[in-house]
Amino acid sequence: MGPFLDFNPFDNLLCILLGISFTVWFTLLLVFIIVPAIFGVSFGIRRLYMKTLLKIFEWATHRIERGAKDNNHLLYKPYSNAIIAKEPTSLEEEINEIRRRGSNRDLDSASEFEMSDIFYFCRRGVESIMDDEVTKRFSAEELESWNLLTRSNYNFQHISLRLTVLWGLGVVIRYGFLLPLRVTLAFTGVGLLVVLTSIIGFLPNGRMKNFLSEQVHLMCYRICVRALTAIITYHDSENKPKNGGICVANHTSPIDVIILASDGCYAMVGQIHGGLMGVIQKSMVKACPHIWFERSEVKDRHLVAKRLSDHVEDTTKLPILIFPEGTCINNTSVMMFKKGSFEIGSTVYPVAIKYDPRFGDAFWNSSQFGMVNYLLRMMSSWAIVCSVWYLPPMTKEEGEDAVHFASRVKAAIARQGGLVDLLWDGGLKRGKVKDTFKEEQQKLYSKMLVGTQEDRSRS
């Protein structure tokens, strides 16, 4: 009789309610998210969600600006580059201008070196310190609006009770509802990818295997996109990368991969990892010929080029997806493209990606956040909103080397995405400026002096 006496009807009721809750939860996920992802359709819920958020942000920003004005508070962080006006002039033009202002003598009779030349290099040095074009590309954008996230307003102070309550309500929604939903979807997408690609790997090579592999990859990446509440607008789809080519894109975040792969299949290129990432890589390569390198192989440029060249020569294989910058940039600029992927001689399909930072910052600052911390920030933001432009395919012109070809492709991506085109190497994020950059400035200055001397000797 003891066990029957310990029976509590409330425990049974609690178990029933929990079972019903989980059933309803996974039914909603299946009907409204997973099934639409399988067929590549959308009910428009995410775009309605985005429009609603924009209206709330506009109201909150208007309210905070009015409150700051009434209280005489500095609302937005002043930018350092606002005090520096840079003109697109050459070294020779700027030094000659300084010489004209600082000397009453005829420039033609001047010596090879003028003391006033020092002021040019001093000014450029101070400008570089105050408005560094490189390091500021590795910090989050400062928004001139409030999106109910802590980071998005530099000098935000308590303005009103309503705004504070609204921010608290946003925290509850993001961490209490959106985060569990997104984590569930992420595990679902990754789990299906590992299981299904492993099963497809047992099939013999052929059209059926390729077809099933592409459908599984698309389905799983679309589920992962929904795990971020990503709202993506694709432009000029007629220029989408084709088999036997290389797709190159600017790089802001690790999620760039699923942003592109949810609209088309690619062969990934990367280093072999251990742990969970290694399990995913091993399962993916069974179904699709992705290109994974051992740590020791990555440094062998000839081996990497040979593997890539062999892949693109087979027109039955998927296009390769590469991010030539080699590191993540903060969604404002495009930095130097490594020339390796442009030496192969294949058709290059440029893609420009631009994120809307009002809903969440997609930039991954790897020196500040680990991968787990970064993904937590992504999944606890409001949404990931971005635009993707497929640019017309480009090929190397006659007499053009890989460096100039890479620069031409980079310029086209920057122009289409509304990004700043920089010549600096993204590797400066972790290293020092190469001596070649210093030597280039020295050569320009010495060439100007030698040219002046030759001109006087002729006269």
Q: In this predicted model, which residue has the larger pLDDT, 360 or 406? A: 406
* 291 pLDDT higher than 90: no
The per-residue pLDDT for range 134-162, each reduced to its tens digit, is: 666 666 665 656 677 754 454 454 566 77
Mean pLDDT of the chain: 77
Backbone angles phi, psi at 349, to 5 degrees: -110, 100
Q: In this predicted model, which residue has the larger pLDDT, 278 or 217? A: 217
CB 378 within 8 Å of CB 384: yes
- Quick one: pLDDT band at residue 165, thresholds 50, 70, 90? confident
- How far is residue 285's CA from residue 288's CA, in Å, rounded to a whole number? 5
- How far is residue 220's CA from residue 195's CA, in Å, rounded to a whole number? 11
Instruction: Check residue 393 and give its pLDDT.
Output: 93
CB 256 within 8 Å of CB 353: yes
pTM over 0.85: no
Instruction: Check residue 402 and give its pLDDT.
Output: 86
The per-residue pLDDT for range 232-288, each reduced to its tens digit, is: 999 999 999 988 889 999 998 888 999 999 988 898 887 777 777 778 888 888 888
Q: In this predicted model, which residue has the larger pLDDT, 331 or 141? A: 331
- How far is residue 336's CA from residue 161's CA, in Å, rounded to a whole number? 47
CB 280 within 8 Å of CB 194: yes
* 101 pLDDT higher than 80: no
* 4 pLDDT higher than 50: no
The residue type at 216: V
Helices (H), 111-227: 117-130, 161-173, 179-200, 207-227
On the 0-12 / 13-18 / 19+ scale of CB atoms within 10 A, 179 is middle
- Quick one: pLDDT band at residue 87, thresholds 50, 70, 90? low
- Sequence-separated (6 or more) residues with CB below 8 Å from residue 11: none
- Quick one: pLDDT band at residue 83, thresholds 50, 70, 90? very low
Q: How many helices (H) and strands (E) does the chain have?
A: 16, 9
* 392 pLDDT higher than 50: yes
On the 0-12 / 13-18 / 19+ scale of CB atoms within 10 A, 280 is middle
Instruction: Check residue 72 and give its pLDDT.
Output: 63
Dig out the tokens for 185 from the structure.
């979807």
CB 331 within 8 Å of CB 362: yes
- How far is residue 205's CA from residue 287's CA, in Å, rounded to a whole number? 9
Instruction: Check residue 1 and give its pLDDT.
Output: 45
Per-residue pLDDT, averaged over 358-378, amounts to 83
- For 12-21, 111-120, 293-302, 437-446, which range has the lowest pLDDT when averaged over its residues? 111-120
* 354 pLDDT higher than 90: yes
Establish how many alpha carbons lie within 13 A of residue 154's alpha carbon, considering only the half-sphere containing its beta carbon: 12
The position carrying tokens 């775009």 is 47
Q: In this predicted model, which residue has the larger pLDDT, 438 or 414? A: 414
- How far is residue 415's CA from residue 424's CA, in Å, rounded to a whole number? 17
Backbone angles phi, psi at 388, to 5 degrees: -125, 125
* 79 pLDDT higher than 50: no
* 88 pLDDT higher than 80: no
The per-residue pLDDT for range 176-201, each reduced to its tens digit, is: 888 988 898 888 888 889 999 999 98
